C-alpha cells in the first residue's frame, strides 16, 4: 500500500509539473491561426451589395461624354453609386453645370474637352426613355427612376493632381483641390487635412510598370525604381489615414495588369506589422464604352454616403472587373478551368488570349512589335459598345471565418473557381462551390495575409486581404524601409529611366 502511495504521489507530481510547463510551450506554438476578417460585421443576409463607380470622367475635364450621357450609361449598366471625378474639379452637384473654369478652359484649348456641358436638372429623361428626378435627402443626392431604382452621387468626387506627371489620387467626401504643380504627398496630405478619403490611382501609370513585358520584372524589389515606388506608396499609406490603398484593375487593365503584384508587395509589408490596406477597381471612364470595365461592390445596410464611407474605410467591398490583362493570371485560370471543367468555351477563350499575350511578349522582346499598346491585350467580357456579354456575373454571397479551425469559406453565385493568394503567390485554386481553405494545410506557404479572387464567365472579384495573427504582429515591422527618402515630383523620372526604351519607342510611334 505504501509503495502504491509513493507511485501515486510521483505520478501526481509529474502531472502537476507537466500542467505548469505545458502553457509555456503552447504559447510559443500557436494552436490556431487568428484571422482578421475585413468583412466582420457584414450581415450578408440583410446588407446590400451596391455596384459602385468611384472614378469617372466627363467633358468637364478630358472625358468624351457629357455628365448626362455618363450617368445614363451607368444607369443602363446597373450602377447604384457613382462618383464623378473630373481632373482638378470637385463635384458639387449633377443638377447644374459644375466645372473648374481653369481646368475646363485649358483642356478645351488643347482639344481634350469638347462639346457643351449637359447636366441633369431637377428632373428629365434620358435618351433611352428613362425618366428621373434629382433630389437631396438627408444631405445626399439621389436620382430616382420610375422603375424604383436609385443612383446616389458620391460627395466631392475629384481626381487630384490635375497638372502633375500622372501622380493621380482620387478623393471623396472632402471639398479640397490644389491645381498647382503638386505631388502624391501634397494631395494625400491635403485630403487628410480636409477630412476626406482617397486612393492612389492606376499606379502602373506613374511607376511605368505598365511598360514591363514579363510579370517577374514588374515591381521587382531588387530594382531600385520599383523598390523606391513600393516604399513611396507604403509611406503615404502609413502617414495619412485618408489613404486607404490603391487601384489594382482599372479600365481595360492594360496599365494596371501588374498592379496586383504591387498590392501583394504592400500587403506583405503591412501585414507583417498587423495592418491592412485595401484595393479598389475602377473604370477611369473617359468614354462610354469604358464605364462598365471596373467597379466595386460595396457592402452596406443602407444607400447613403455615411455607410459608403464606412465601407471604404473598413474594407467592406469587393473589387470587380470585366477585364484581365495579366498573362500569368490568365494562364493559371485557364489551367484550373481545364482541370475542373474540361475544355469548355470559356477555357478556350482564355487560353487563346493567354497564348496571344505570350506571343506578343516574344515578338516585343525580339523587336517585331513595340511595347505597351501591343502588349496590353486583355481578356474581357464586354462587347464593342461596352455592355457585358455574359448572362451572369460572379457574386460573393457569404464569407465565413472559423478561427478555431483556421478556415475561410467563400460562398458565391455564377462563379467557377476561387484562387487563394498569399505573399503574392497562388497557394490554392478550388471550385467555386467547394471554396473553403484550411490555413493549416498551407502553413508552409502562408505569409501574414491571404486574399481570394473569384472568377466566373462574367468577370472577376477581388476580396480584401484576411490578416493572419495581426494582433501578434502589431508593431513588429515598419512597412517602409529605413532610410527611405521621398524625392517628390522628380521621382517620376525613375520609372522613365527604368523603361526608357519602351517609352521612347512609344513616343516615336505616336
Q: What is the pLDDT of residues 79-89, one digit of tens each?
A: 999 999 999 99
pLDDT at 107 over 50: yes
- Which pLDDT band holds residue 501 (cuts at 50, 70, 90)? low
pLDDT of residue 368: 84
Do the beta carbons of residue 210 and residue 259 sit within 8 Å?
A: no
| CATH tag, 35-40+327-473 | 2.60.40.10
Chain segment 166-201, per-residue pLDDT in tens: 899 999 999 999 999 999 999 999 999 999 999 999
- Which pLDDT band holds residue 498 (cuts at 50, 70, 90)? low
Do the beta carbons of residue 54 and residue 486 sit within 8 Å?
A: no
Q: Compute the C-alpha angle 283/289/290, nearest 5°.
A: 10
pLDDT at 12 over 80: no
- Which pLDDT band holds residue 16 (cuts at 50, 70, 90)? very low
pLDDT of residue 26: 35
Kindly give, in sequence order, each residue whose CB lies less than 8 Å from that of residue 444, ignoring residues fewer than 6 positions away.
none
Burial class (CB in 10 A: 0-12, 13-18, 19+), 124: middle
- Going from N- to C-terminal start, the domains of the chain cover 35-40+327-473, 48-323+478-509
User: Looking at the whole model, is its pTM more than 0.85?
Assistant: yes
Pairing mode of beta strands 81-82, 150-153: parallel
- Which pLDDT band holds residue 7 (cuts at 50, 70, 90)? very low
The lowest-confidence range among 71-75, 109-113, 145-149, 201-205 is 109-113
CB burial of 80-111 (b: ≥16 within 10 Å; e: otherwise) equals bbbbbbbbbbbbebbbeebbbeebbebbbeee
| CATH tag, 48-323+478-509 | 3.20.20.140
pLDDT of residue 32: 72
Q: Compute the C-alpha angle 306/310/312, nearest 5°.
A: 115
Select from 259, 251, 324 the least CA-distant residue to 286.
251
Chain segment 368-386, per-residue pLDDT in tens: 887 655 667 899 999 999 9
Alpha-carbon distance 16 to 29, whole Å?
21
Residue appearing with cell numbers 467547394 = 434
DSSP 433: G
- Which pLDDT band holds residue 226 (cuts at 50, 70, 90)? very high
Chain segment 315-346, per-residue pLDDT in tens: 999 999 999 999 999 999 999 999 999 999 99
Chain segment 248-298, per-residue pLDDT in tens: 999 999 999 999 999 999 999 999 999 999 999 999 999 999 999 999 999
Q: Which residues pair with 297 in a beta bridge?
A: 51, 318
pLDDT of residue 117: 92
Residues 34-47 have a mean pLDDT of 97
**Residue 505 vs residue 449, higher pLDDT:** 449
**Residue 164 vs residue 183, higher pLDDT:** 183
Kindly give, in sequence order, each residue whose CB lies less than 8 Å from that of residue 422, ignoring residues fewer than 6 positions away.
442, 445, 446, 447, 449, 450, 451
Alpha-carbon distance 82 to 67, whole Å?
11
- Which pLDDT band holds residue 4 (cuts at 50, 70, 90)? very low
Chain segment 468-497, per-residue pLDDT in tens: 999 999 999 999 999 999 988 777 777 666
Alpha-carbon distance 454 to 429, whole Å?
10
DSSP 58-83: -TTTT-SS-HHHHHHHHHHTT-SEE-
- Which pLDDT band holds residue 9 (cuts at 50, 70, 90)? very low
Residues 62-86 have a mean pLDDT of 97
Give backbone dihedrals phi and psi of 486, rounded to 5 degrees, phi first. -85, 120
- The H-or-E segment that residue 102 falls in is helix 101-109
- SS3 label, residue 255: coil
Q: Which three cell numbers stand for residue 105?
A: 478652359
Integer distance in angstroms from the first to the last C-alpha of the chain?
101
- Which pLDDT band holds residue 10 (cuts at 50, 70, 90)? very low
C-beta contacts of 335-344 below 8 A and 24+ residues apart:
336/417, 336/419, 336/429, 337/416, 337/417, 340/416, 340/417, 340/431, 341/416
Do the beta carbons of residue 479 and residue 239 sit within 8 Å?
A: no
CA 49 to chain centre: 16
Q: Which residues pair with 247 in a beta bridge?
A: 280
Burial class (CB in 10 A: 0-12, 13-18, 19+), 117: middle
pLDDT at 463 over 70: yes
Alpha-carbon distance 490 to 477, whole Å?
28
CA distances from 171 to 123, 207, 216, 466 (A): 28, 20, 31, 25
Chain segment 300-310, per-residue pLDDT in tens: 999 999 999 99
Q: Which three cell numbers stand for residue 76?
A: 443602363
CA distances from 274 to 32, 66, 307, 465, 474 (A): 16, 44, 25, 12, 4
DSSP 464-493: PPEEESHHHHTTS--SS-TT----GGGGHH
Amino acid at each position: 500500500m505504501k509503495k502504491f502511495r509513493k507511485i501515486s504521489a510521483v505520478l501526481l507530481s509529474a502531472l502537476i509539473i507537466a500542467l505548469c510547463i505545458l502553457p509555456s510551450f503552447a504559447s510559443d506554438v500557436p494552436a490556431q491561426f487568428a484571422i482578421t476578417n475585413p468583412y466582420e460585421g457584414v450581415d450578408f443576409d440583410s446588407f446590400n451589395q451596391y455596384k459602385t463607380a468611384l472614378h469617372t470622367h466627363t467633358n468637364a475635364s478630358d472625358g468624351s461624354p457629357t455628365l448626362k450621357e455618363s450617368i445614363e450609361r451607368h444607369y443602363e449598366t446597373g450602377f447604384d453609386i457613382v462618383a464623378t471625378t473630373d481632373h482638378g474639379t470637385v463635384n458639387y452637384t449633377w443638377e447644374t453645370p459644375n466645372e473648374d473654369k481653369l481646368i475646363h478652359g485649358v483642356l478645351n484649348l488643347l482639344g481634350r474637352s469638347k462639346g457643351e456641358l449637359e447636366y441633369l436638372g431637377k428632373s428629365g429623361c434620358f435618351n433611352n426613355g428613362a425618366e428621373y428626378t434629382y433630389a437631396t435627402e438627408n444631405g445626399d443626392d439621389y436620382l430616382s427612376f420610375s422603375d424604383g431604382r436609385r443612383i446616389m452621387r458620391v460627395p466631392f468626387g475629384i481626381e487630384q493632381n490635375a497638372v502633375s506627371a500622372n501622380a493621380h489620387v482620387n478623393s471623396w467626401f472632402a471639398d479640397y483641390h490644389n491645381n498647382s504643380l503638386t505631388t502624391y504627398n501634397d494631395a494625400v496630405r491635403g485630403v487628410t487635412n480636409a477630412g476626406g478619403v482617397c486612393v492612389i490611382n492606376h499606379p502602373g501609370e506613374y511607376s511605368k510598370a505598365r511598360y514591363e513585358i514579363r510579370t517577374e520584372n514588374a515591381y521587382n524589389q531588387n530594382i531600385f525604381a520599383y523598390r523606391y515606388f513600393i516604399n513611396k506608396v507604403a509611406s503615404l499609406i502609413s502617414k495619412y489615414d485618408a489613404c486607404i490603398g490603391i487601384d489594382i484593375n482599372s479600365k481595360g487593365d492594360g496599365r494596371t495588369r501588374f498592379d496586383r503584384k504591387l498590392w501583394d508587395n504592400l500587403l506583405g509589408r503591412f501585414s507583417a506589422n498587423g495592418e491592412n490596406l485595401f484595393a479598389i477597381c475602377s473604370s477611369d471612364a473617359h468614354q462610354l464604352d469604358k464605364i462598365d470595365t471596373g467597379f466595386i461592390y460595396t457592402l452596406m445596410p443602407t444607400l447613403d454616403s455615411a455607410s459608403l464611407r464606412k465601407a471604404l474605410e473598413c474594407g467592406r467591398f469587393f473589387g470587380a472587373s470585366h477585364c484581365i490583362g495579366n498573362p500569368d493570371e490568365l494562364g493559371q485560370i485557364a489551367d484550373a478551368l481545364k482541370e475542373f471543367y474540361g475544355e469548355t468555351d470559356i477555357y478556350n477563350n482564355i487560353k487563346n488570349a493567354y497564348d496571344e499575350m505570350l506571343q506578343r511578349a516574344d515578338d516585343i522582346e525580339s523587336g517585331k512589335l513595340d511595347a505597351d499598346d501591343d502588349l496590353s491585350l486583355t481578356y474581357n467580357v464586354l462587347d464593342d459598345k461596352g455592355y457585358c456579354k455574359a448572362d451572369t456575373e460572379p457574386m460573393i454571397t457569404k464569407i465565413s471565418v472559423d478561427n478555431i479551425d483556421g478556415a475561410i469559406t467563400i460562398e458565391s453565385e455564377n462563379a467557377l473557381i476561387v484562387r487563394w493568394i498569399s505573399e503574392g503567390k497562388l497557394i490554392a485554386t478550388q471550385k467555386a462551390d467547394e471554396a473553403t481553405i484550411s490555413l493549416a494545410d498551407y502553413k508552409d506557404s502562408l505569409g501574414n495575409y491571404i486574399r481570394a479572387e473569384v472568377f466566373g464567365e462574367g468577370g472577376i472579384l477581388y476580396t480584401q486581404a484576411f490578416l493572419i495573427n495581426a494582433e501578434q504582429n502589431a508593431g513588429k515591422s515598419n512597412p517602409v524601409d529605413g532610410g527611405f527618402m521621398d524625392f517628390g515630383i522628380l521621382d517620376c523620372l525613375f520609372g522613365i529611366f527604368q523603361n526608357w526604351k519602351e517609352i521612347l519607342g512609344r513616343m516615336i510611334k505616336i
